[in-house]
């Protein structure tokens, strides 16, 4: 609801504060709930904010209710916690069984379990791109000045097909396609690890020096679009260039772009394309 | 045909000579065609053998025909060559167009293209496990003394489902499943690289110290079983143990096991299970 207060449960990275700024620019009163060890308080100095440990669901709920908050955005990075990292407060204790159950089900399961707890308490989880659409790939075609050429279009399609095929599994949403075949698929190592591996295969000669290739990032089929969206940013552009890839294929409205202006300028500078498909 | 002469086109590793020995033990006259830079002549001192460069198809064909050979096994490792590595001889020149076409299609395409050339010249490609069934997982259940316990069975099934989902793509045939989800999927880095990555994620804390987990190796659906079978061996067992995994899931008659007796003894020693599913 435009104008209604909004809570942002913030993990690491620049995206949470960007979403907070976009929400405020759209006329919303923002409360930033910073996850301890992930979000930095100084980044949110301009916002009403408070830091919470994992498990302080009772305190979080009290803070939200005191501000009349019904809508919540989950955004930013969070290293998958161990069960021991979660110190439940009094308000969280009754949900502990559900959290333990969720932990058994991998990242997807953990996240859905936590969202279900918030929803059971009357909060609505909002897609960050609904709050800040300009932070995504908000149109199709090349987002910067560099265009995808030659086989890149077919390779993006191949990468999207791999991500689609892996949708039933709780596994990465990124793949590198080169010379017409997938050469690296993201697992628990994350996109940084994936791109470092491609760079290493390039150095060792396992991938050809001038192979080109593309990084494809897209949400899985059936993914909860309100959380855990694939993200790219300046570090992705640099790693793509270092891995000897020609560019990045994304899906329109499917990924978040951290520091978008900087990311696109860097992509132009390094000759990396960012191509959004419908 | 039992007793008929057999050619073994040998790449690197111990498996080619093991297949040659098994074929000879079964009463066949063996000719070992050693791929230059991959197979070592000294390993085949006990066999009629000759070394061929990539592209010496004319010489190979002459050698086969002089020995009355109609059946050929392709076996062993070969780093994917670049087109420039192939020096066609006179007998190969007419197939160059087909080879270049095959190169465009990734590993699967390259291999099928080369097989098609052999077949067009009247040779029959034979499954190495048909020649040497004992080199594979020739029964179901634990192959060594260590048994798969707890969630391992479900994790093997999950890994097989991932490999099945990836079957349409020219990509690896190995996956590591841990805590119920795929954490690493093999691409062009190969199984050694896959397991090194799991070990690294274990060290960095991205995977839990005592996570367990299994390596699953199986042929893709629709894979040409006569070539490029997934293989495990002593180095796989060591890498699995170093990666903190509990064992290996394979499919009966689906993988080759290099130095089988040594592999099973090492698995017993390191507490690694090898479980073959039907």
pLDDT tens for residues B190-207?
999 999 999 999 999 889
Q: Is the dihedral of CA B181, B184, B188, B190 positive or negative?
A: negative
Q: Are B178 and B212 in contact (CB under 8 A)?
A: yes
Which range among B58-67, B89-98, B208-217, B230-239 shows the weakest confidence by mean pLDDT?
B89-98
Q: Which residues contact B53 (CB under 8 A, 6 or more apart)?
A: B36, B87
The per-residue pLDDT for range B68-120, each reduced to its tens digit, is: 999 999 998 777 677 777 788 888 777 777 777 776 666 666 777 788 888 98
List the one residue out of B218, B162, B208 whose CA is nearest residue B185: B162
Looking at residue B47, what DSSP letter applies? S
A172: nearest CA partner in chain B:
B183
A196 at the B interface (CB within 8 A)?
no
d(CA A263, CA A237): 7
Q: Worst-scoring range by mean pLDDT, A1-15, A218-232, A257-271, B158-172?
A: A218-232
Mean pLDDT on A124-131 = 91
Q: For residue A95, count other CB atoms closer than 10 A to its CB.
A: 21
> Which of B158, B176, B187, B243 to probe the A interface (max A CBs under 10 A)?
B187
Give the pairing type, strands B273-277 and B247-251: parallel
Q: Which residue of A has its CA nearest to B172?
A: A183
Q: Integer distance in angstroms from the first to the last C-alpha of chain B?
A: 27
Question: Between B106, B201, B208, which is nearest A181 by CB?
Answer: B106
Alpha-carbon distance B226 to nearest alpha carbon in chain A (angstroms): 21
Residue B19 and residue B131 in contact, taking contact as beta carbons nearer than 8 Å: yes
Contact map slice: A 135-164 vs B, CB within 8 A: 158, 161-162
Q: Is A171 on the interface with B (CB under 8 A)?
A: yes
Q: Determine the pLDDT at residue A108.
A: 62
Cα angle A62, A66, A69; round to 5: 95
Q: For the segment B133-171, what is each residue's pLDDT rounded down to a tens digit?
A: 889 999 999 999 999 999 999 999 999 999 999 999 988
Contact yes or no for A207 and B188 at CB 8 A: yes
- Residue A202 contacts by C-beta under 8 Å, 6 or more apart in sequence? A209, A211, A243, A244
pLDDT tens, residue by residue, A160-195: 999 999 999 988 789 999 988 999 999 999 999 999
* Separation of alpha carbons A128 and A140, rounded Å: 19
A170 touches chain B (CB under 8 A): yes
Write the pLDDT tens digit of every residue in A38-93.
Answer: 899 999 999 999 999 888 888 999 999 999 999 999 998 777 777 777 788 888 77
Q: Scanning every residue of chain B, which has its alpha carbon at the shortest distance from the alpha carbon of A161?
A: B169
For chain A, what percent of residues have pLDDT higher than 90? 63
What was the pLDDT predicted at A227? 76
Helix axes B260-270, B234-242, angle to 10 degrees: 20
Q: Where are the alpha helices (DSSP H) in A38-168?
A: 57-66, 96-103, 106-120, 128-131, 152-165
Helix/strand/coil (H, E, C) string of A196-236?
Answer: HHHHHHHHHCCCCCCCCCEEEECCCCCCCCCCCCCEECHHH
Average predicted confidence (pLDDT) for chain B: 90
Q: Is B46 on the interface with A (CB under 8 A)?
A: no
- Listed in order, strand segments (DSSP E) in chain B are 6-10, 30-35, 48-52, 71-75, 124-125, 141-142, 174-178, 181-185, 214-217, 231-232, 247-251, 256-257, 273-277
Please count the other Cβ atoms lying within 10 Å of the Cβ belonging to residue B53: 16
**Res. B63 pLDDT band, cuts 50 70 90:** very high
Pairing assessment for the beta strands B48-52 and A214-217 based on DSSP bridges: unpaired
CB contacts, 8 Å: A173 with chain B = none
> Of B103, B78, B101, whose CA–CA distance to B13 is shortest?
B78
Q: Tell me if chain B has a CB within 8 Å of the CB of A193.
A: yes
Contacts of A161 in chain B (CB under 8 A): 168-169
| Cβ separation B171–A181 shorter than 8 A | yes
- Select from B104, B161, B206 the Cβ nearest to the Cβ of A180: B104
Contact residues on chain B for A78, CB-CB shorter than 8 A: none
pLDDT, one tens digit per residue, over A138-158 is: 999 999 999 999 999 999 999
State what percent of residues in chain A have pLDDT above 70. 96
Of A79, A106, A206, the CB nearest to B189: A206
DSSP class of residue B121 equals T
Q: Do B168 and A161 touch (CB under 8 A)?
A: yes
Q: Mean pLDDT across the stretch A227-256?
A: 93
């Amino acid at each position: 609801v435009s104008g209604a207060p909004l809570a942002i449960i913030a993990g690491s990275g620049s995206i949470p504060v960007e979403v907070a700024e976009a929400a405020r620019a759209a006329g919303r009163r923002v409360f930033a709930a910073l996850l301890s060890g992930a979000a930095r308080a100084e980044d949110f100095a301009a916002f009403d904010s408070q830091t919470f440990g994992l498990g302080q669901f009772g305190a979080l709920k009290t803070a939200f209710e005191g501000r009349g908050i019904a809508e919540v955005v989950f955004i930013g990075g969070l290293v998958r916690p161990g069960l021991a990292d979660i110190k439940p407060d009094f308000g969280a204790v009754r949900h502990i069984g559900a959290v333990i159950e969720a932990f058994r089900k991998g990242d997807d399961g953990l996240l859905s379990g936590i969202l279900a707890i918030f929803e059971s308490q009357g909060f609505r989880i909002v897609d960050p791109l609904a709050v800040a659409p300009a932070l995504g790939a908000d149109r199709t075609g090349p987002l910067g000045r560099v265009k995808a050429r030659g086989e890149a279009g077919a390779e993006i399609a191949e990468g999207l097909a791999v991500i689609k095929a892996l949708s039933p599994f709780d596994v990465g949403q990124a793949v590198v396609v080169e010379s017409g075949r997938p050469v690296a698929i993201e697992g628990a190592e994350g996109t940084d690890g994936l791109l470092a591996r491609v760079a290493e295969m390039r150095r060792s000669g396992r991938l050809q020096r001038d192979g080109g290739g593309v990084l494809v990032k897209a949400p899985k089929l059936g993914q909860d679009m309100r959380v855990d969206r694939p993200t790219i940013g300046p570090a992705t552009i640099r790693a793509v260039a270092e891995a000897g890839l020609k560019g990045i294929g994304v899906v329109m409205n499917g990924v978040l772009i951290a520091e978008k202006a900087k990311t696109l300028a860097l992509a132009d500078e390094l000759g990396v394309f960012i191509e959004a498909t419908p």
